[in-house]
Amino acid sequence: MNILLTGIDGYVGWPTALKLAQELPEARIIGVDNLGRRKWVEESGSVTAIPIETMPVRLAAAREHGFTNISFIEGDLADRDFVNQLFDVYRFEVVLRVAAQPSAPYAQINGERANYTQFNNNQSTRNLLWAIKDRGLEKDCHFIETTTTGVYGAPEFEIPEGFVTAVNKGQEDVIPFPGMAGSWYHMSKSNDVNNLWLANRQWKLSITDLRTSIVYGTETHETQLDPRLATRFDFDFYFGVVINRFCAMVLTGYPITIYGKGEQRKPQISLEDCVQSCVNAVRLPLSGEFKVYNQTTEIISIVDIAEAIVSGARKLDIAAETKHIENPRVESEEHKMEMAVANFQTLLPNPKLNIAEGAYRMLEALKPYRETIEQYKDRFMSV
């Protein structure tokens, strides 16, 4: 089986490559990345707290550990010629789309970044979809994309797993429910959802839409095998997600900084569980359907996250405190999010990690990199 793994150099992409190699040794994993994430974080004046190797060094280390079926091609998926060349050389049975510009705050900086984010994310999706269609592979290729639970926004009802039954003047139909994204990045994913759904309706392309939650964590089983296999860990305002940033703050004695009341509940998943469910999705048979999975293991308020981290810190004798500041985001600070996850529970019946345990483990794993975080702690907040 040939698997195209896009975004292999990223936070989720690299550990996914390793777990795919571990669980599907007979598959060939062709990883693609334009190394954009490295540049965006640098441009934001920050660094990954946990050092990461270049792709050639990562691949050499992976080979030493028996992962011999991963290769890497540097290229830009928004470039249609590049994508076409890729599909002329390889016949892919699976496309696992983990590549994107994934930061809402980065996309919100100005019109140029918003434009770039939507162009990058949506053009790449269309290029991949049409490369499949133009080669007549639509019945033989499984397209998996990590979109985001952020496409749903914050509705005042339980978020369904992809679709709702709409009633209009007494008549009803089932329609996709992605349309309330709250940032230019999240809207790029809503656009992707629409295009994916269209590709399925027009061509019967099998599509698995993993609506990824906020991913936290420092490592997976495979990245722990060798420091050269580490994945990146960002903690800055633009690329650090909430739990990761809070853990980094605690390690430098910086108060855990909560936007507004912090009572809004947000969906979360550990890196280990996120990566495992991506690998499980690769094993799904071709369905000819558009299937949505809310890739979530916990929905928790920001203040409860902060509490879990403070208690993890206490176990490690690290002093930690919290502070509330004015919310720089446009969001409800009290939204009691509920979300259906029945489909996802069939994909990942036994998640390995929860936030209470995860926070403690992250703080332990990050302790050796305190100095780096300290050096860049002015990046915690926007400037």
Residues forming contacts to ligand NAD in the complex (CB under 6 A) are 7, 9-13, 32-37, 76-78, 98-102, 120, 124, 146, 148, 212, 214-215, 241
- If the CB atoms of residues 33 and 222 are measured against ligand NAD, the closer one turns out to be 33
Residue least distant from ligand NAD (Cβ): 10
Give min distance, CB of 166 to ligand NAD, in A: 26
Provide, rounded to whole angstroms, the least separation between the CB of residue 86 and ligand NAD: 11
Tokens representing 97? 């789309």
CB of 127 to ligand NAD, least distance (A): 9
Decide: helix, strand or coil at residue 288: coil
**Cβ–Cβ < 8 Å for 325, 292:** no
Which residues, including other chains, have CB under 8 Å from residue 194's CB and lie 6 or more apart? 176, 178
3-class DSSP state of 195: helix
Q: Are 206 and 137 in contact (CB under 8 A)?
A: no
> In terms of CB distance, is 22 or 295 closer to ligand NAD?
295
Q: How far apart are CA 305 and CA 300, in angstroms?
A: 7
Least distance CB 355 / ligand NAD (angstroms)? 14
For the four alpha carbons of 64, 72, 37 and 40, in that order, the dihedral sign comes to positive
- HSE-CB at 374 with a 13 A cutoff on CA atoms is 8
Cα distance between residue 357 and residue 282, in whole Å: 28
Note if 261 is an active site residue: no
Q: At its nearest, how many Å lie between ligand NAD and the CB of residue 36? A: 4
Selecting among 19, 189, 266, 291, the annotated active-site residue is 189
Residues in the chain: 383
Query: Are 268 and 299 in contact, with CB atoms under 8 Å apart?
Result: yes
Q: Which is nearer to ligand NAD, 66 or 72 (CB)?
A: 72
333 CB-contact burial (10 Å; exposed 0-12 / middle 13-18 / buried 19+): middle
- The question of whether 231 is a catalytic residue gets the answer no
- Among 106, 152, 185, 360, which one carries the catalytic annotation? 185
Work out how close the CB of 170 gets to ligand NAD at its nearest, in angstroms, rounded to a whole number.
38
**Roughly what angle, to the nearest 10 degrees, separates helices 302-315 and 355-366?**
50
Choice between 20 and 215, CB closer to ligand NAD: 215
Smallest gap from Cβ 33 to ligand NAD, in A, equals: 4
Active-site hit among 48, 125, 148, 296:
148
In terms of Cβ atoms closer than 10 Å to its own Cβ (0-12, 13-18, 19+), residue 266 is buried
Nearer to ligand NAD, 55 or 172 (CB): 55
Is 252 a catalytic site residue? no
Helix (H, G, I), strand (E, B) or coil at 173: strand
Spatial CA neighbour of 123 closest among 80, 181, 184, 94: 80
- Two structure tokens written together for 246: 């809070």
Residue placing its CB nearer to ligand NAD in the complex, 171 or 294: 294
Half-sphere exposure in the Cβ direction for 29 (13 Å, CA):
31
Q: How far apart are CA 330 and CA 108, in angstroms?
A: 11
Catalytic residues: 148, 185, 189
